[in-house]
Amino acid sequence: MRKHIVAGNWKMNMTFSEADDLVSAIMDKLEQVTLDANTQMIICPPFPYLEMVSDFGDESYFSVGAQNVSDQEGGAYTGEVSAAMLESMELDYCIVGHSERRAYYHETDAIVAAKVKRLLAHYIRPIVCCGEVLEERESNRQFEVVKRQITDGLFHLTAEEFADVIIAYEPVWAIGTGKTATPDQAEEMHAFIRSLIAEHYGQEVADNTSILYGGSCKPSNAKELFAQPDVDGGLIGGASLKADDFVAIAQAF
């Protein structure tokens, strides 16, 4: 059975002490609740807080991931962080190709593909984001766009490599806007993504791939979204900055 995953993307928010308070509030909450045994929580803080959040770590509560990684192996790339560095910190996950990185840092599908390859070579599971902007949905091009992102970003992998990939479908018009895809819209795209994976790697690989939804997911809509057969969890932005909301979303399974 594929894993249910609820991953929090803290983005570029909070001071060190605010981050410390948040992770301790999340731990307190998690100690009071029982999550479904198949639900994995992941926290993706900014790079400078990775060690602090990992130190809280009891992996039975949550795993830790980075929000980005360099497409280069190492060397003279000022300001970059390599997959080898993340591996040396024993991180398990890393977000790749978030729409904010695609929009503000010109991350292309080819760059996403290179980052995914680096991460897998260092035993880190990529959480690969895809999703259309509003104009693309309004012109009914969402399937074409997502197909290109998945094909060009991921289908260079062998089936064995692909088995470690997690996909997050995040319609860009729903990120941080308070607008959420309807459960039907999310299911339609998730089923489409799974069918692309099945076509390329076979049904078994597709059935084992966790496909998360992201875009204004909150406690009030998580249950309905996660009830869809092809929605295996969420990549959570704003609501992951509130301990109560983040844990309540994980309880939606």
Which residues are part of the catalytic machinery? Answer: 98, 170
235 binds ligand PEP (CB under 6 A): yes
Least separation in angstroms between residue 235's CB and ligand PEP is 5
171 binds ligand PEP (CB under 6 A): no
Q: Which residue has the tokens 């109560």?
A: 244
Least separation in angstroms between residue 178's CB and ligand PEP is 8
176 binds ligand PEP (CB under 6 A): yes
Which secondary structure element, helix H or strand E, spans residue 40, and what is its range? strand 39-44
Q: One-letter amino acid identity for 25?
A: A
Contact pick of 114, 238, 250, 253 for ligand PEP (by CB under 6 A): 238
Q: Give helix 109-121 / helix 142-154 axis angle, nearest 10°.
A: 40
Contact 219, 180 (CB under 8 A): no
Burial environment of residue 139 by CB neighbours within 10 A (0 to 12, 13 to 18, 19 or more): exposed
Report the greatest alpha carbon distance in the chain: 47
Contact 168, 146 (CB under 8 A): no
Instruction: Fill in the per-residue mask, 12 to 31: x = in contact with ligand PEP (CB under 6 A), - = not in contact.
Output: --------------------
Contact pick of 8, 126, 153, 215 for ligand PEP (by CB under 6 A): 215
Q: Which residue is nearest to ligand PEP (CB)?
A: 237
Which residues here bind ligand PEP, judged by CB under 6 A?
9, 170, 175-176, 214-217, 235-239
